[in-house]
Structure 1
Amino acid sequence: MSIVDSKPKARRGKSRANARLKAVLGFALTVITTFLGLLAVTFFIGRVVPIDPALAIVGDRAPAHVVERVREQLGLNLPLWHQFIIYIRQALSGDFGISVLTTNPVMQDIKRVFPATMELATIGTLIGAVFGIPLGVLAAVKRGSFIDQIVRIIGLVGYSVPIFWLGLLALLVFYAQLNWVAYPGRIDIVYEFTFTPITGFYLFDAAWQGQWDVLWDLFRHIILPSGLLGYFSLAYISRMTRSFMLNELAQEYVVAARAKGLSEARIIWFHALRNAAVPLMTVIALSYAGLLEGSVLTETIFAWPGLGLYITNSLQNADMNAVLGGTIVVGAVFVGINLLSDLLYRTLDPRTRSR
């Protein structure tokens, strides 16, 4: 190969490397900008809320000089821009202050309660995906039929009915009347002081230790709140699956596959669904992030000791360090999953790499 022929290839390789570098830098800039925006929002919320952090610590009956000294220790006497810089530095190091309610570092409390929220959201997402995807596919294949209408009604109810009302109704029916599930909470008081969690994920810990009676009790506690979250996830996933499948079934490759004599089941499940799987993975990831951040009401109704209940109790007790710390963690997780799903989408779908 001549030198003249190698020059265009070198230019193309260099342009590809520059494009990848720009993509990486753009992604990093997006992450940094989004996280700084999240910190800015939470910081100014903490300053706008009519709650004095110093009074929340010492009480409203403390002498004025004590309140002023605490304000100086917290840096509340500094200019607002200086407070924001300190806030960013502390947040990046994981220091969200001390919780007034528990007297523990906020990050320590979050590490204790966040696994419960993750466990609840993970099972809810699994329920939503396992049942939502087949329902969405069925609705797309049977478009306009009675089955399609039923699936769309299920999704509409999941979007429309308030979660607190559905949760109270579920407790009334399945706990109070039928006694199929355990009472609100995460674990029975009988096992609360004998079961020793290792990772904070109780189901995994109980199975790992072979405590099957504890595992059954944990299952009876988690099935109703996770099923409720799973229903709302199912509504979203089934609707998006139906939309993706309708788009794929209208493509020319489906017509060609039918002309070749392939079975309808193979066309639907091995061709159309496989092509719809890439955007569907993004939908499932966003649904998971939504359950992580949106389980506050569910945890409150079912007395689930997760991050949502922790933030709610802290807000009721004017514990702004805990509220803002929990908000930052939830926001960071949501942003992280959102960006990760976008990166995964671009990686798995070659058509989007040039965009």
Structure 2
Amino acid sequence: MVGTVTARPTAEPAAARLAAVALLAGRKLGGALLVIWGVVTFTFLVVRVVAPDPIGLLVPPGAGTEVRDAVRTELGLDGSIVSQYGIYLGHLARGDLGTSFGTNQPVSDDLLDRFPATLELAVPALIIGVALGTGLGIVAALRRGRLADHAIRVVTVAALAMPPFWLGLMLLSLFFVSLGILPGPIGRLPAGVDPPPTMTGSYVLDALLAGDTQTAGLAAAQLVLPVAVLACGIFAPITRVARSGMVEALRSDYVRTATAYGFPHRRVLTAHALRNALLPVITMIANGVAFAFTGAVLVEGVFGWPGIGQYALVAVQQSDFPALQGFVLYAAVVYVVLYALVDLAYAAADPRTRS
């Protein structure tokens, strides 16, 4: 009697899935590297064509041709643009972003030194902006057509219409110049106050960990106005998108069906309407993160905040090519990483996108 042969599961489907995932990851990584390379190349060419010659800013006005040529050679600006570009890519491949003309320090070290200041400013602004924008958008959708909805829409449009640097100047004029209740644009701490011992990079947290509540209070006071300006730029677009998404979700057939089946109103809102309404908000949150970490150049400049944004602003003013290229590379990496995380967040929130 011939026995029945049972087919054993093969590893081919698992191997095929693994190969497909690896191929997809490779494509995304290749696309990300291509975007970064394009941004780096465009920035390299533009700063050398549009920006003023940095030699005129680095040498005395009466310096002779020999001095100017010597400085140009020292900075690596004596060759053709093609040769400079090749040298720059070679250094970049080794992780060398160049040396800043202004600080005479490696650009990577400058960015790392200034990142804690940007982080201390960005994190509370993001928390406030995302929470306020999402909450106001949901409230406006639930009160659609009522007084609360109209008031929130007016505030949102006003926030969108105000440039961040202008809002910062107006807040300084009101709370620092006129009322005198908040500190001026003097950085992370008042003049003459020593920073706390570095543990986290945040002056507020480091001072609290060191038991210095007075310095922590001074550092927190310096954060109030710039955080308010950044949060204003973050919450307004999130509010509009959250309201639109929630209104559309509340009108959908699946919400009507869940309501008709007698599900509790709270469960219908949270399990059905809110989850689908927040999908477009994910993209706006990513935009807010990018704005807080890379786009707040003028905000940091207005408040004298010694972060990466002010570093980029000074680099533009001084035609500091390596510093400006380093900032743009940093911004490009931030955007690429953020939108990769957005893809993952969409896949987690909406199973339909996983295919």
Q: Is the shorter-chain TM-score for this pair beyond 0.5, marking a shared fold?
A: yes
Shift of the 88–347 alpha-carbon distance from structure 1 to 2, 3 Å rule, reads farther
| CA RMSD in angstroms, aligned pairs only | 2.6
Paired residue secondary structure (2:333): helix
The answer to whether the aligner puts 1:198 opposite 2:193 as a matched pair is no
Shift of 1:241: 0.9
Tell me what 1:323 maps to: 324
Q: Deviations over 1:81-137 (max 9, x none)?
A: 332222123234443333333232222222121221122122111111121111101
Tell me, in whole angstroms, the C-alpha distance in 1 between the residues paired with 2:160 and 2:24.
36
Q: For this pair of structures, how many residues does the alignment match?
A: 351
Tell me what 2:53 maps to: 52
Shift of 1:77: 4.1
Tell me, in whole angstroms, the C-alpha distance in 2 between the residues paired with 1:53 and 1:182.
35
The answer to whether the aligner puts 1:90 opposite 2:91 as a matched pair is yes
Please tell me the residue identity of whatever aligns with 1:293: T
341-350 vs 118-127, which deviates more? 341-350
Paired residue secondary structure (1:189): coil
Tell me what 1:216 maps to: 217
Tell me what 2:246 maps to: 245
Tell me what 1:296 maps to: 297
Instruction: Assess if the C-alpha contact under 8 Å between 1:293 and 1:331 holds in 2.
Output: no
The answer to whether the aligner puts 1:29 opposite 2:26 as a matched pair is no
Q: Which one has a larger percent helix, Structure 1 or Structure 2? A: 1
Matches within 5 A, 1:202-351: 202-351=203-352
Shift of the 217–137 alpha-carbon distance from structure 1 to 2, 3 Å rule, reads same
221-230 vs 253-262, which deviates more? 253-262
Overall identity of the aligned pairs, in %: 34
Please tell me the residue identity of whatever aligns with 1:36: W
61-70 vs 38-47, which deviates more? 61-70
Tell me, in whole angstroms, the C-alpha distance in 2 between the residues paired with 1:96 and 1:58.
23
Instruction: Assess if the C-alpha contact under 8 Å between 2:156 and 2:239 holds in 1.
Output: yes
Tell me, in whole angstroms, the C-alpha distance in 1 between the residues paired with 2:334 and 2:62.
38
Tell me, in whole angstroms, the C-alpha distance in 2 between the residues paired with 1:79 and 1:172.
48
Shift of 1:59: 4.6
Q: Deviations over 1:160-188 (max 9, x none)?
A: 11222221221122223333322222112
Tell me, in whole angstroms, the C-alpha distance in 2 between the residues paired with 1:179 and 1:98.
41
Tell me, in whole angstroms, the C-alpha distance in 1 between the residues paired with 2:42 and 2:250.
43
Tell me what 1:140 maps to: 141
Instruction: Assess if the C-alpha contact under 8 Å between 1:282 and 1:345 holds in 2.
Output: no
Paired residue secondary structure (1:157): helix
Shift of 1:41: 1.4
Tell me, in whole angstroms, the C-alpha distance in 2 between the residues paired with 1:288 and 1:13.
37
Which residue of the other structure, out of 166, 188, 191, is the alignment partner of 1:189?
191
Please tell me the residue identity of whatever aligns with 2:155: I
Q: Deviations over 1:217-240 (max 9, x none)?
A: 111110111011111211011111
Shift of the 136–2 alpha-carbon distance from structure 1 to 2, 3 Å rule, reads farther
Paired residue secondary structure (1:107): helix
Unaligned runs of 5+ residues in structure 1 are none
39-48 vs 337-346, which deviates more? 337-346
Unaligned runs of 5+ residues in structure 2 are none
TM-score by length of 2: 0.88
Please tell me the residue identity of whatever aligns with 2:179: L
The answer to whether the aligner puts 1:174 opposite 2:175 as a matched pair is yes
Shift of 1:295: 1.0
